[in-house]
Amino acid sequence: MFKPIFLATSLVLLNAQAMANNVILIIGDGMDDQQISIARNYLQGAQGQLVLDKMPVRGSVKVITVDEDNPSKKVYVADSANSASSIATGVNTSRGRISSTAKTNQHPVTIMELAKAKGLATGVVSTASVTDATPAAFISHSKHRGCEGPEQMEPGKLFYGMYKLDCDSDGRANGGKGSIAEQIVMGSTDVVLGGGLKHFDQESDYDSEHLLTKARVNGFSVLQDAQDLENIEGDRLLGLFSPSTMPVIWQGTKGAKAEKINGDLKAFSCEPNLGFNGMPTLQTMTEKALNTLARNDDGFILMVESASIDKQSHYRNPCGHIGELKQLDETVQFVLDFAKSHPDTLVLVTADHGHAAQIVPAGSLFGGQSTSLGRVALVDTPEGSQMAINYATSEGQAEEHTGVNVPIFGNDVAEGLVPSNLEQTDIFSIMKGYLDL
C-alpha cells in the first residue's frame, strides 16, 4: 500500500500524476425505488440498510425516450435498449435501438469507444446475455436489440414472435456492422462476461467463420464455466456462462410466484434456485473483470449489469428479483471496497427504467382482503412480517415497464459531479468528463 506522508493537497496532486481515473457503472435493470424497497424489506428489514442506502451521493434520473418516426415527440416509457443507449452515448433514441439514432439510424460514439481511443481498458459484465440490450448499447450499434447473433440476421426473423426484425440491412453483406455478437468478437472491448453463449456458438452469417474462432483470433480467451473464470487469465476475456440469461440465485418456495387472488393468498418465502448451481456470481465476474482491467496503467471503464431485476419482475417472480438485487448489492460492496484501494475510481449505480412491481397493503387499507385484479405475491419476510407485491400492468405473459424517474447513487468521488436531478444523457457526460475523454 502507498503510505501518505505528504499534506493532503500534495497527495492529491501525486495521485493525479501517478494514477489514471477509472469508472465503474453498475446498472440494475428495472431497479426503481419500489424494487429497492422490496429488496430492503426482505434482505435487511424495513429499517435496515442496503449497501446502496449507505452510498453518500443520491440523485434522481429522468428517463427520456423519443418516437422512432418523429424523434421530437416524447414517449413516456423506455425499454432497456433506448435507456442504455442514452447512458452509453449521451443521445436519446427510440425503444429497441442499440446506440443508434431514431429515424436517421446514425451511430453516435459510445463511452467505451471514446475510452478505448484514449488507451483505457474497457469491459462489460452482465447476468443477461452479453448481447442483450443493456450491455449491447455499450459495445455495439444496431438498429434493433433483437439482432443479437448471426441467426437473427436473416431476413424475416421475428422478435420473440411479436414482430418482424429488420436486422439484415445492418448485415455485413449490406455494409453494416453485423450482429451484436459479431461486433463483440470483432470489437475492441477487453472483458465481456455474462450469458448468451447461443448467440456466439454459431457461424457468421457473412463469412461463415465460427464466432468463437473469430473471438480467439481477435485475442480473446473464451471462458465457459466458473472454473475457467477462476483459472484462465488473459488481457482479453470473453466469458459466456449460460446459453442466454444466467439463472437467478433465488426462487419462491417450490417455485411460487405472484398469482391472481382467488380466496386467501398463500404466503411463501425465498429459497435457492438449484438452476443457479455452478454459475459464477455477479460479484465473482466483476472481481475478475476488475483484476483484468486494472492492469492497464491508463485506467479503465467497466459497466456491470444486474439484468434479472427487470426480467423477474416481468415474470412476476418476487424472489427472483429480490435475489438478483442481493447479487447487485453485494457487488456494489465489492466495488466500493475496490474503489477505496483505487481512490481515483468513480462508482455510479443506477437503473435504466421503472418496473411494474408495487408494495401494496397485505390487506386492503379499507378493510378486508386485497382486491387487485393483477397478480399478487404474499412474501414472508425474515423479520417476521408479510409483504404483498402487486404486478398489475398487464393481463398478458409479461408485465410492462413504467415511466418513473430512477435513482442514481455515487461513491464519495461522485460528490460534486452528480446533481440532485439529471437526465440519463448526463451520466454519459459525467463519465466522459471524469475520464477526460
Interaction between residue 404 and a copy of itself (CB under 8 A) = yes
Answer for the pair 85, 98: CB distance below 8 angstroms, yes or no.
yes
CB atoms within 10 A of CB 57: 20
Contact region for a copy of itself (CB under 8 A) — 99-107, 245-253, 291-299, 352-360?
352-360
Shortest distance (Å) from residue 361 CB to a copy of itself = 4
- Tell me, residue by residue from 26 to 65, as one string, x for binding to a copy of itself by CB under 8 A and - for no binding: ------xxx-xx--xx---xxx-x---xxxxxxxx-x-x-
Please report, as residue ranges, which positions from 101 to 160 form the binding site for a copy of itself (by CB under 8 A): 160
Please report which residue ranges of 74-155 form alpha helices under DSSP H: 80-89, 111-117, 133-139
Catalytic pick from 37, 80, 370, 372?
80
Applying CB under 8 A, what is the total number of residues that bind a copy of itself?
73
Shortest distance (Å) from residue 215 CB to a copy of itself = 32
φ and ψ at 27, to 5 degrees?
-115, 120
Helix (H, G, I), strand (E, B) or coil at 408: strand
The sign one gets for the Cα dihedral 92, 23, 250, 371 is negative
How would DSSP label each residue in 329-381? Answer: HHHHHHHHHHHHHSTTEEEEEEESSEES-EEE-SB-TTSSB---SSEEEEEE-
Interaction between residue 417 and a copy of itself (CB under 8 A) = no
Interaction between residue 264 and a copy of itself (CB under 8 A) = no
Contact region for a copy of itself (CB under 8 A) — 200-208, 219-227, 279-287, 390-398?
390-398
Nearer to a copy of itself, 32 or 168 (CB): 32
Determine whether 341 is an active site residue: no
CA–CA gap between residue 66 and residue 318 (Å, rounded):
31
Answer for the pair 37, 379: CB distance below 8 angstroms, yes or no.
no
Nearer to a copy of itself, 55 or 302 (CB): 55
Please report, as residue ranges, which positions from 67 to 86 form the binding site for a copy of itself (by CB under 8 A): 67, 73-77, 79
Among 175, 395, 416, 436, binds a copy of itself (CB under 8 A): 395
Among 30, 239, 280, 374, binds a copy of itself (CB under 8 A): 374
Nearer to a copy of itself, 114 or 376 (CB): 376
Answer for the pair 319, 250: CB distance below 8 angstroms, yes or no.
yes
Residues belonging to the active site: 80
